[in-house]
Structure 1
Amino acid sequence: MRPPAFWDAAPTHPVARVLRPLGALYGRHTAGRMDRAGLRAPCPVLCVGNFTLGGAGKTPTALALAGLLRDLGANPAFLTRGYGGSLAGPVVVDPDRHRAGETGDEPLLLARLAPTILARDRLAGARLCVAQGADPVVMDDGLQNPSLTKDLSLAVVDAGVGVGNGLSFPAGPLRVPLARQWRHVNGLVLIGEGAKGEDVAKEAHRRGLPIHRARLIAAAGLSKRRVIAFAGIGRPEKFFVSLRETGAEIVDTRAFPDHHPYRASDLEDLAARAARAGADLVTTEKDHVRLPQLFAARVGVLPVTLRFNDPGPLIAQLKALVSGSQL
């Protein structure tokens, strides 16, 4: 879905005010579910979640955390629900065999780095992770899911949007009122810069939580190329900015809803735009895995990686997780 504009406006926006009672009911119900005790997995569980609906940068964060865990000598495996895919699991994701329609897009990216288990039943998925040699499990999303006990939960926030208007869905983007979510979080990953993100960071600091600041680094290689950029992610504008910062000449853009399933009409339109402009098509890694293979071969990709400004405090939390002192 594409977030409605009023989610990023003041909470007094007329539409938000009308929907606020429904948001209060939804938030209260989800908060009660979030507070339930989960079952213990056979190994430590690191949850990479977010406070809101939509993208915040969880997947690049999960990939970066798995890299740090490997540097510590651990054997991480990813556990994901596979949003947008048809498989229920538990199943080991194979990028050479599975398609985005089966698994969703994120699992295909995660599986390039470490064993990735797709499972709607999180406990069954964690057990399969362990069977694949995992220690610990890195759970991509699931902060509000109570089925598993989390040993370390990090909330990812895009500093450019923060938590929007601070209201619960559908009045705003929050899954649960923010005050109810802090008790389930052990640290904040703040990606990029922005006043709204700083507001969240101030609250995290007030509660004594570590704040891990990070930024997305785009790969080089597109400098001075004429490109048409398209993306179906949480904030396509962020991708367009990253692409422009590489030195690419963006002649046109097209934004799609998050996790958009590309149709033939979309692909025909993109190809026609590129032909008229004499430009190359470029998209994100998440979008690229959702494209039909023949069309994907004609589209460039801008890989991005997450880099922590000061990884020391985060590494300390990960060491405690690996050693079991958080259990």
Structure 2
Amino acid sequence: MRAPEFWRRAPASPMARALAPLGALYGGAASARMSKPGARADRPAIVIGGPTLGGDGKTPTALAIAALLAEMGERPFFLTRGHGRRAMRRPSFRVDAQIHTVLETGDEALLLARRAPTIVGIDRAESARLASDLGATALILDDGLQSRRLEPDLALLVVDGGYGAGNGLCPPAGPLRAPLRRQIEAVDALVLIGEGAAGEAVAERASAAGKPVLRADVAALPCPLAGRRALAFAGIARPEKFFATLEAMGVEIVGRKSFADHRRYTTRDLAALEREAERLDATLVTTEKDAAGLCPDRAARIAVLPIGLHFAEDERLHALLRRALTRAS
């Protein structure tokens, strides 16, 4: 699904205002769901949520927190539903990135599994038990704030500086997974990624509610793409962020293709991209998440833009993590 453009615009457009009553019903149901207590895992649970329906930066945040926990001597496991996979109802299982395919796990699970042990399962409590049995000392959920399947020991709300809360309404009128005030109430801190007035507005609301704001930036990791011609493609919630990062690195984008989030690329898709890249005399380049779902033969012919999340004040996040680990002990 691609988010409608009017979801971004604030104040709300006439279309958004017309749909606002339906959005209020959606928001009410989401608020009620968030008020229900979740199951308590026997390992510290760190829940990372985004206020909107995609593109806030949850996955880079989860990866950065896993790295910090590992530095602290912990053994973090990711828990994920495996969005877009087949057989959603099968029991929870540990992902093996060398064996499992995107059809079995979803694309994000394969990406996560290359950084830390990852459990895929629709039942978060069952996944938590499996992770504990396999030696996890901490659990990271890169979603789950609004579902409340597990009670968090630390809950973070990740906000994109350029997008913020969109028009501030819930679907179908806007992008919010639940009313913003309810989401801010439910977390321990807000992570603001990048700059922008929309994100700053959310940060101000979080600060007014007594929630600390952790500032971070996404940066491309070393990648020999600067100065090269590229045909860039992405199947993510906000592909414009990917294109902007490439341009900031000095990559000459001579073509760009946007697909729906969690796109399962077909042989036909990739053949067409390869033909277009050849016509443009350009290198095909995509995101880590998109590349995770490609077969190895295809992936080997496509450049990947790796990114990392840098926190402006690591120590504040370390303190929150230490408190969560202590709270759960």
**TM-score normalised by structure 1 residue count:** 0.97
Residue 208 of structure 1 aligns to which amino acid in structure 2? G
Which residue pairs with 2:301 in the alignment?
298
SS at structure 1 position matched to 2:289: helix
2:219/2:307 contact within 8 Å kept: yes
- Partners of 2:18 and 2:99 lie apart in 1 by 47
For residues 284 and 146 of structure 1, the distance between their equivalents in structure 2, rounded to whole angstroms, comes to: 29
Gap regions ≥5 residues in structure 1: none
1:53 and 1:174 in contact (8 A); partners too: yes
Please state how far the C-alpha of 1:87 moved relative to its aligned partner. Answer: 4.1
What are the equivalent positions in structure 2 for 1:304-323 lying under 5 Å apart? 304-323=307-326
Preserved contact between residue 46 and residue 138 of structure 1 (Cα < 8 Å): yes
2:243 corresponds to which letter in structure 1?
A: F
The residue aligned with 2:192 is: 190
Residue identity matched to 1:101:
L
Give the equivalent residue in structure 2 for 1:7.
Answer: 7
Secondary structure of the residue aligned to 1:282 is strand
Task: State the superposition RMSD in angstroms.
Answer: 1.3
CA distance in 1, matches of 2:250, 2:4: 31
Whole-angstrom distance in 1 between the partners of 2:252 and 2:55: 26
Structure 1 residue 111 corresponds to structure 2 residue 129: no
**Other-structure match for 1:26:** 26
In the aligned structure 2, how far is the partner of 1:265 from the partner of 1:14? Answer: 39
Pairing 1:1-327 to 2, within 5 Å after superposition: 1-88=1-88, 89-220=91-222, 221-324=224-327
CA apart distance, 1:22: 0.8
Q: In the alignment, is the contact (CA less than 8 A) between 2:157 and 2:184 conserved in 1?
A: no
After alignment, is 57-66 or 244-253 more displaced? 244-253
Identity %: 51
Pairwise CA distance, 1:50: 1.0
Q: Give the unaligned 5+ runs of structure 2.
A: none
Residue pair 1:87, 1:103 contacting (<8 A) in 2 also: no
- Asked whether the equivalents of residues 162 and 197 of structure 1 are also in contact (C-alpha less than 8 Å), the reply is yes
- Distance (whole Å) between structure 1 residues aligned to residue 238 and residue 320 of structure 2: 29
Counterparts of 2:80 and 2:319 in 1: how far apart (Å)? 25
Q: CA deviation at 1:128?
A: 0.6
Deviations 1:145-190 (A, max 9, x none): 1221111100111111001000011100001111122221100111
C-alpha distance in 2 between matches for 1:107 and 1:87: 15
C-alpha separation in 1, matches of 2:301 and 2:287:
13
In the TM superposition, residue 55 of structure 1 has moved relative to its aligned partner by: 1.9
Letter aligned with residue 5 of structure 2: A
CA contact (8 A) 1:11 1:167 kept: no
Equivalent position SS for 1:247: coil
